[in-house]
Chains A and B, each alone.
Chain A
């Protein structure tokens, strides 16, 4: 068995090569920087320049859709989401070729299809786009898509609660009370199931919705159950309060706060044990780097009235929980790959009786061992929502973004917001500050 000695320059060579191999999340920083500077159009330009491999197409389309949404172009955003969905569907079949390539190069060579929760977020944001365009039937189509997706999706962390809550709002807006009730019920179950893990409580707005609809649909037992669970107290201090009346019109404000965590790479280089052939090995695993936003609360002010928004989704927690579940499989794949690469390098050396070739194969194997750091990082860190009952008219809506200490970080104003009689009006804002 021919053994070769490692050239002294090998670690230096590896280090040099590595500087030229930025992972996906690192090259995405330029886009995020533009976003933080409130320049979504420039971010789009940078993203378009970075459009790379076909395997990253879904990710490109998702980020593009999100940037277009942030820039206020809801139609183009929906089109981009649509393309991403079609591509995701086409990629849902297993590719043996990609499986093989990822086994000898790295996981990034596989087509990106989106994590299960990201796949649910696509119809969620499409629905929000339609709602902001005033197309309630279009949003209803997406509500049905959310339902289909949640029924078919595999995995435990899907962000089901908020997705269901949004579908409930859509059905209620269309006067489909029974469907709205079913969706609110499922949202409530979702929030209760995961509230501690995702650090999101059952929103007070959802509690009011459940009480209102249970009363409207005359579901006495259920109403009683909710009263007890929510321990609702009215002004007289009685245990049971009257369910809130349906508002004449309503403003629904969605704050997309910060950016979802970025996947980074953690690499460990080590000497291979002699039984797999002496040489340098590298194991790279992804981890999520949270980007905690400066804002943690939002208040909406309309004329002399104010209301506090509530956190309805913590994407940061859902993404981290998803990755934690995947890490054992990613590690096992990485270990198997490293051993396979060592074997290939040794085989090349043996077959060609050329140590230099074996070293070269080793270096290539070392360099290509990169973690898959792709993730839909233009999603927000968390989502806040407020429901503001109003009468019809034209308003100036002011939002106050506050930090943990309740200090105002920033304020924004939305002028001439038209609230139509008997309808819900939707507004959203993306606050990104890195």
Chain B
């Protein structure tokens, strides 16, 4: 009787394993393509939608603000901008590069503004120029000391205020960007985007 019981149990184990195996083949990774404009909030943290909202707002604002026409009127040439530090003073690790490069792309393509390489980028360029000095043909060699100086520096910060009670959180993000004149420290433009989210965590899980 005991032997039979043991066999029956072994059979049950084997069939259970077979069922799990069959089920696991149906649990392959699933990938769904999304439109980049689609809003998909998963954890409530800063995501692509927030970055896009910031860049949309900032682009609209910086191109319509009077600083640009004032500069064009005085200089008859597009101003050169350099990206300075965008400080993350929030409670999350946020990649500020995404909305800054969005802004850069639209501004450069509009033809109204020029960008010069930022501090991080120019070291590599200078290194390459130094290399050209030694290795490139005369007619293709780019001389040192011919860089275009920036007229304005884009600086900014992301700040947050989080209010939480139990499983509910209100997250408030404020992104401030400003353009500062390199010649006289004047702040010629200030852009601001505020985002507020209510995040309610589930009280139960499987």
Contacts and interface: CB of A to CB of B under 8 A. Distances in A.
A89 B43 contact: yes
B90 A95 contact: no
Interface string A136-157: 0110110011001001100000
Nearest to B94: A141
Contact of A96 (B88, B167, B204): B204
Contact of A144 (B90, B167, B205, B206): B90
Interface string A115-148: 0000000000000000000000110110011001
A308 interface: no
Nearest to A130: B93
A148 B88 contact: no
A356 interface: yes
A137 to B, nearest CB: 6
Contacts of B162: 144, 148
Contacts of B92: 141
Contact of A92 (B87, B88, B164, B201): B201
A93 B202 CA distance: 6
Given A148-B162, A152-B164, A95 B205 contact: yes
Interface string B143-170: 0000000000000000010101001000
A91 interface: yes
Interface string A76-100: 0000000000100111111111000
Given A89-B43, A141-B93, A356-B2, A97 B206 contact: yes
B90 A90 contact: no
B206 A148 contact: no
Contacts of A90: 205
Interface in B106-163: 160, 162
A145 B201 contact: no
B203 A94 contact: yes
- In this complex, the interface size class of chain A, counting residues with CB under 8 Å from chain B, is 20 to 34
A428 to B, nearest CB: 21
A220 B32 CA distance: 62
A144 B91 contact: yes
Most buried by A among B43, B93, B160, B202: B93
B89 interface: yes
Contact of B201 (A93, A140, A141): A93
A152 B204 CA distance: 18
Q: Is the interface of A mostly helix, strand, loop or mixed?
A: helix
Contacts of B2: 356
Contacts of B164: 148, 151-152
A140 B204 contact: no
Listed residue (B88, B92, B205) with the most chain A CB atoms within 10 angstroms of its CB: B205
A164 to B, nearest CB: 16
B88 A141 contact: yes
Nearest to B91: A144
Contacts of A92: 167, 201
Nearest to A92: B201
Nearest to B160: A144
A95 B204 CA distance: 6
Contact of B89 (A91, A93, A140, A151): A140
Contacts of A144: 90-91, 160, 162
A148 B204 contact: no
Contacts of A97: 206
A145 B43 CA distance: 16
Contacts of A141: 88, 90-93
Interface of A: 86, 89-97, 137-138, 140-141, 144-145, 148, 151-152, 356
Closest 4 CB pairs of A and B: A144-B91, A93-B205, A93-B202, A95-B205
Given A92-B167, A93-B201, A138-B93, 11 more contacts: A89-B201, A93-B202, A93-B203, A94-B204, A94-B205, A95-B205, A140-B89, A141-B91, A144-B160, A144-B162, A148-B91
